[in-house]
Amino acid sequence: MTIENSDTEVMNQAIEWLDHGRQVELVTVARTWGSSPRPPGSLAAVRDDGHIVGSVSGGCIEKQLAIRIDSNDRVRAFAHEISNDEARKFGLPCGGHLELVFEALDNSAELKEITNLVANRKRIARTVTLDSSQSRIEEVDRHTNFLFDGAQIRKVFGPGWRILLIGGGQLSRYVAQFALALDYEVVVCEPRPEFISAWNIPGCIISNKLPDEAVLEYATDHHSIVLALTHDPNLDDSALIEALPSDAFYVGALGSRANNERRKKRLTGIGVEEHEVQRIHGPVGLDIGSRSAAEIAVSIVAELIQSRNAHDKATREASKQAENG
């Protein structure tokens, strides 16, 4: 089972509307200034009767989008900047404003191709040339990101961020709930029947494989996160041995600082490279004084958000430098 993130939710709803004969406009955030609430690349789809899925402004101008499509002349693709006056009128915070790209869609074929590729863990870029409304899709690597230069817009889809949870205990249940709300795909590795029988969070992939096998199956790319949360060295270490040399973006393990130091010595003692062992986020999570399982889960997910945002910022800056020569 694949968990929908915000992009695939928009795409799948647009596909359904188009397949039922409705007209649909796809709206993409192209540029933002100030404190706009949604980043470039955010998507919404608007049906011909004003129904909307997704968000390009956190709710500020979605009503205006519904009104606009009612009188739309079906121009295929164009960009429109929300002016300062419009920003104030629609309630964008802190003077923020944005530029949107509108596309009138005729059929669902291209959207279906994208969603099928993403479901198979492919990273896909869809590029639209505004003056001709021509679009193309291609498989790209993880270094390819969103781009808008006024003439073309490139939106990148998938693979969705995936969290592999080692262990199905109470902490993992809280982490899973928060992660699902943040559009992560959640895989739970739990070879212990007594724990997996108590799992009650829907929308997760459940694996009863051993942790090392689960890592090799589910944490194979840079959009993967491995969290070893069992407190059982046999299970956690088994996952870490495979996760640390992998391309996984983030590897975290539960335990105190003292336990983490013992874990590192244990892993280096069985042949894990020192630089790989230093990748472990341990104790996993931000230090916010967490005590309960729910609070620890908040700290873990908060650190994931922090790490991803720092990575995304560094990637954008590197991309700008490359484009500027």
User: pLDDT at position 318, please?
Assistant: 72
User: pLDDT at position 81, please?
Assistant: 64
**Within a 10 A sphere around the Cβ of 317, how many other Cβ atoms?**
10
Is residue 208 domain-shared with residue 304, that is, in the same domain? yes
Higher pLDDT, 313 or 242: 242
Is residue 222 domain-shared with residue 300, that is, in the same domain? yes
Residue 184 lies in a domain: yes
Q: What percentage of residues in the chain have a pLDDT greater than 70?
A: 81
Q: 60 falls in which pLDDT band (50, 70, 90)?
A: low
Q: Which residues contact 325 (CB under 8 A, 6 or more apart)?
A: none
Is residue 152 domain-shared with residue 170, that is, in the same domain? no
Is residue 102 domain-shared with residue 240, that is, in the same domain? no
Q: 1 falls in which pLDDT band (50, 70, 90)?
A: very low
User: pLDDT at position 2, please?
Assistant: 46
Residue 304: pLDDT above 90? Answer: yes
Alpha-carbon distance 228 to 251, whole Å? 8
CATH code, 226: 3.40.50.720
Mean pLDDT of the chain: 86
The residue range of the domain holding 62 is 6-157
Alpha-carbon distance 284 to 94, whole Å? 34
| Beta pairing, strands 250-253 & 224-228 | parallel
Is residue 13 domain-shared with residue 151, that is, in the same domain? yes
Is residue 150 domain-shared with residue 168, that is, in the same domain? no
76-133 pLDDT per residue, tens:
666 666 656 665 665 555 555 778 898 999 899 999 999 998 877 688 999 999 988 8
Burial of 176: CB neighbours in 10 Å, binned 0-12, 13-18, 19+: buried
Residue 202: pLDDT above 50? Answer: yes
Residue 240 lies in a domain: yes
User: pLDDT at position 22, please?
Assistant: 93
Residue 70: pLDDT above 70? Answer: no
Residue 315 lies in a domain: no
Is residue 107 domain-shared with residue 120, that is, in the same domain? yes
Is residue 122 domain-shared with residue 214, that is, in the same domain? no
Count of structural domains, the chain: 2
Is residue 94 domain-shared with residue 203, that is, in the same domain? no
Q: What is the mean pLDDT of residues 249-263?
A: 94
Residue 71 lies in a domain: yes
Q: Of 115, 139, 157, which residue sits at a domain end?
A: 157
pTM: 0.69
- The tokens describing 230, both together, are 């069992």
Q: Is the CB of residue 133 less than 8 Å from the CB of residue 79? A: no
Is residue 125 domain-shared with residue 151, that is, in the same domain? yes
Q: Is the CB of residue 214 less than 8 Å from the CB of residue 164? A: yes
Is residue 10 domain-shared with residue 141, that is, in the same domain? yes
Residue 319 lies in a domain: no
Residue 153 lies in a domain: yes
Is residue 11 domain-shared with residue 153, that is, in the same domain? yes
